[in-house]
Amino acid sequence: MSQDLGIVNSQYNEAVIHLLFQLADDDFLYSYRASEWLGLAPHIEEDVASSSICQDSMGHAAMYYELLENIGAGKADDLAHLRPANERKNSILVERPNGEGFYMSTPKYDWAYAVVRGFFYTQAKKIKIDSLKSSSYIPLAEVSMKVSMELHYHLLHWKTWFIQLLSSSKEASERMIAAIDQTMNDFGDIFSYGAHKETFVEFKLIESEQVLANRWTEQMASVLKTVHLEKLMIPAPRLNGRNGVHTNDLSEAIATLSEVYRMDLTASW
């Protein structure tokens, strides 16, 4: 009996670790890509607002990495900076750059894409967080309550931009529709749990992939209706980041964001 209990506890711990990595890696990469907009947003108020959202999201990632450190998965900073791309569990969507160019030289970023990705990702994140408030893993449920308070304002911010741009000029609307297509091309794994979709639900860590995906589709439909767009359907993933399958964009992002940290692994940051 004790051996069976040990196996169950081991499986539960493994499921918790994989879920925390998915949550942490999502917010970490989303925040990194958002930080590339610093100084490049359309106006100074937006520069401040988007930077604040970026900072909050990095804080959320840090809380998840700290939970991982607390259960022995490794040092939080190392987990964020030193893991190779094939060990990352983030969605493909959050690893994509904002557009052509490089943030250090001639960035050609697409604000429409930033708005759409920000809105769609934040809506998905809120749905997950609402489910995680009832997670059987109490430390995660407690963190989710903290994250939820900030998400309300993040979602309101991106939703406002989304509706305004789609209700604006013909050019703005066309750019937004193109950005929606681009975002949805990488949206297939956003609610995926990868190889752990059954254990996450079995251990009551979070609701099922399909329940959350359906919730996103229905909540988005009411917003899309206000701008005269049809309901979106989440596609099957072409690549699944939850299983460690990623694009070259992720490897390039990791190399850049970890450059300073790797200079001295013994330093105290």
Domain count, the chain: 1
Q: Is residue 10 part of a domain?
A: yes
Q: Is residue 171 part of a domain?
A: yes
The pairing of strands 99-102 and 105-109 is antiparallel
Q: Is residue 268 part of a domain?
A: no
Contact 143, 63 (CB under 8 A): yes
HSE-CB at 56 with a 13 A cutoff on CA atoms is 17
Q: Is residue 127 part of a domain?
A: yes
Residue 36 to residue 97: CA distance in whole angstroms: 9
Q: Is residue 149 part of a domain?
A: yes
Kindly give the confidence (pLDDT) of every residue in the chain, 269 residues in length, as a single tens digit, with 9 standing for 90 and above: 444 445 558 999 999 999 999 999 999 999 999 988 888 888 889 989 999 999 999 999 999 999 999 999 999 999 999 999 999 999 999 999 988 877 677 778 899 999 999 999 999 999 999 999 999 999 999 999 999 999 999 999 999 999 999 999 999 999 999 999 999 999 999 999 999 999 999 999 999 999 999 999 999 999 999 999 999 999 999 999 999 999 999 999 999 999 988 887 776 65
Q: Is residue 269 part of a domain?
A: no
Cβ neighbors of 107 (< 8 A, separation 6 or more) are: 36, 40, 98, 99, 100, 101
Q: Is residue 140 part of a domain?
A: yes
Q: Find, among 31, 66, 74, 30, the residue nearest to 142 by Cα.
A: 66
The boundaries of the domain holding residue 193 are 2-263
Residue 111 to residue 166: CA distance in whole angstroms: 13
Q: What is the CATH number of the domain that holds 130?
A: 1.20.1260.10
